[in-house]
Structure 1
């Protein structure tokens, strides 16, 4: 099965300082057909105006991954972590038994554009944690680079869920194939540009759900930046 969801079908909320698209039910956007896909619970595409951001608030029992596309995102949390991440950086915060944090645009003038991803953990009540890693474009060019994994495989950030997240850049004649392990499902989100997924043309904001397929093929890219989720 291959199911396409177009970017303009997502939930949308514009608060002035925040322009956000929701791939799954979130906040005031309720869609019983798009609550989660396996352990993948949230993909929010956020654009935050300069000098603005999310004030201190709490989470628990969720693996939260931030992937910056443009600009800078300044993070502070109750575990004592504080840093600013930029394109190429991947941040993972395990909320576990509870953590409070804030996320602000690291620039007073430029828009910050990023994806906020929530993964449901395998078990509730774990210890909160934080990690960030950098993955240069060369690591993702014409291939899928694992950026999050249950065991931190190949230098990825470590998440407490049976999920792996890959990032790839696909352009021109580049062709990327992903062999789907038996019994797994795959979700592909196009963050930028355009690309063909198993023969279907997708653009920025579009996504593909794939179930019972042996392989995922990404090709005919036009400056595409893609995230692929390997889900149990």
Structure 2
């Protein structure tokens, strides 16, 4: 692995109502060494206080995925979508030629924690679209987002996929990249890979033509990104 991103080295933003950790350059945080991996441009680990949120703002030509870890997220957008996204659900908004939306904590008493993920699309200027699904874990690796929504996953306008990796303590899995780029982001737990230990919030990229073994030191939940080698 030639790129390791440790949790404690991420960019930090604290606005009171929002506490966020940025894996890659975003907003007021800029580091030319951390601009993204392949077409993956943003992973923000966001905690929003009760009743607070992101007011209406615009996006275009970006695939925006929200993965809710705790609590529930209230989504509204200019195409008429209005939904609550509970923990465990996955949301995908294709901004296309332009969309305005807001994201608020759906609770007045509990915090909401979610990953905000941006992936660069392979087509621009399209009609905005929205999907949201509950995708129960099926085995160790469950696809959440895929180019054509294979096997019930959310669709995405890019040759990329996101899968949820779940391991029990002491379980292992072998992952391969073939002619692709991989990126593993830990949500919960701890793992060993190639002599390195990774914990919650850590991540690493894997170059093409690699096979490696992940062993869980504690119960693991992580996102595995399968990305084009661009």
Short-chain TM bin: over 0.9
**TM-score, normalization: structure 1?**
0.94
Could you tell me how far 1:213 is from its partner in structure 2? Answer: 4.0
Could you tell me how far 1:130 is from its partner in structure 2? Answer: 0.2
Could you tell me how far 1:219 is from its partner in structure 2? Answer: 1.4
Distance 2:29 2:119 in 1: 18
User: 1:29: which partner in 2?
Assistant: 29
Would you say 1:175 and 2:187 are equivalent positions?
no
Would you say the 8 A contact 1:170–1:218 is kept in 2?
no
User: 2:142: which partner in 1?
Assistant: 145
Could you tell me how far 1:104 is from its partner in structure 2? Answer: 0.4
Would you say 1:229 and 2:225 are equivalent positions?
yes
Extract unaligned runs of 5+ from structure 1. none
User: 2:15: which partner in 1?
Assistant: 15
Residues 43-52 or 215-224, more deviating: 215-224
User: 1:121: which partner in 2?
Assistant: 121
Aligned length: 228
Partner SS for 1:97: coil
Q: Which runs of 4+ in 1 moved over 6 A?
A: none
User: 1:135: which partner in 2?
Assistant: 135
Spell out, residue by residue over 1:20-64, the C-alpha distance to the aligned partner (whole angstroms, 9 max, x if none): 000000000001111111000000000000000001110000000
Distance 1:159 1:194 in 2: 29
Would you say the 8 A contact 2:170–2:218 is kept in 1?
no
Distance 1:198 1:134 in 2: 33
Would you say the 8 A contact 2:177–2:206 is kept in 1?
no
Could you tell me how far 1:198 is from its partner in structure 2? Answer: 4.0
User: 1:196: which partner in 2?
Assistant: 192
User: 2:182: which partner in 1?
Assistant: 186
Would you say the 8 A contact 1:62–1:118 is kept in 2?
yes
Would you say the 8 A contact 1:75–1:84 is kept in 2?
yes
Extract unaligned runs of 5+ from structure 2. none
Give the alignment's Cα RMSD to 1 decimal.
1.3
* Mapping of residues 68-83 of structure 1, within 5 Å: 68-83=68-83
Distance 2:217 2:89 in 1: 22
Would you say the 8 A contact 1:144–1:176 is kept in 2?
no
User: 2:54: which partner in 1?
Assistant: 54
Partner SS for 1:172: coil
Match of 1:164 among 155, 161, 184: 161
Would you say 1:208 and 2:221 are equivalent positions?
no
Distance 1:19 1:50 in 2: 12
